[in-house]
Amino acid sequence: MSTAPRRLHPALAFGHDLVAVLVFCAVGRASHQEEATFAGYLMTVWPFALALAVATAIVLATRRLRPETFAAGGIVWIVTVALGMILRAVSGQGTALPFVIVATITLAVFFSVWRLVILIARRAQARRADQV
């Protein structure tokens, strides 16, 4: 019986990252007292969601990276922030430096947290397996 951790399904990894993007956008809109409309929310979300889809495709194309690793998370983070900002700029949305800084830091934390939880859980599982 193998004790190697199972690879997280890419759709589940994408889902975790998408939730992070959705929360980031919702909190950002709320913190700026943006109008609470679905259309307004979608306008904020779409550049980052599309960028996240591209980032996930890049990670999956490598076939060497497990989507739940910090290496994959780093790629997802950089591509999502960079491409998300480019898409915001070309669609006439703001890309002020303070926003770029906040987005960069917040998405780094959000994309890392769930990966850290998986890492801790896997290490605990490995310790239990070693004790058997």
Is the pLDDT at 2 greater than 70, yes or no?
no
Whether residue 95 lies inside any domain: the answer is yes
pLDDT value, residue 69: 93
Is the pLDDT at 89 greater than 60, yes or no?
yes
Whether residue 86 lies inside any domain: the answer is yes
Whether residue 3 lies inside any domain: the answer is no
pLDDT digits (tens, 9 = 90+) for 36-67: 788 989 999 999 999 999 999 999 999 888 99
Whether residue 5 lies inside any domain: the answer is no
Q: What is the pTM of this model?
A: 0.89
pLDDT value, residue 6: 77
Cα-Cα-Cα-Cα dihedral sign, residues 110, 9, 60, 91: negative
Which tokens go with 78? 């950089």
pLDDT value, residue 68: 92
Whether residue 47 lies inside any domain: the answer is yes
pLDDT value, residue 104: 98
Spatial neighbors of 49 by CB under 8 A, at least 6 apart, are 18, 21, 22
Which tokens go with 34? 């943006």
Q: How many domains does the chain have?
A: 1
pLDDT value, residue 95: 94
pLDDT value, residue 5: 67
Whether residue 48 lies inside any domain: the answer is yes
Mean pLDDT for the stretch of residues 17-40: 90
Is the pLDDT at 31 greater than 80, yes or no?
yes
Structural domain range at position 116: 10-131
Whether residue 66 lies inside any domain: the answer is yes
6 to each of 9, 25, 105, how far by Cα in Å? Answer: 9, 31, 29
Whether residue 2 lies inside any domain: the answer is no
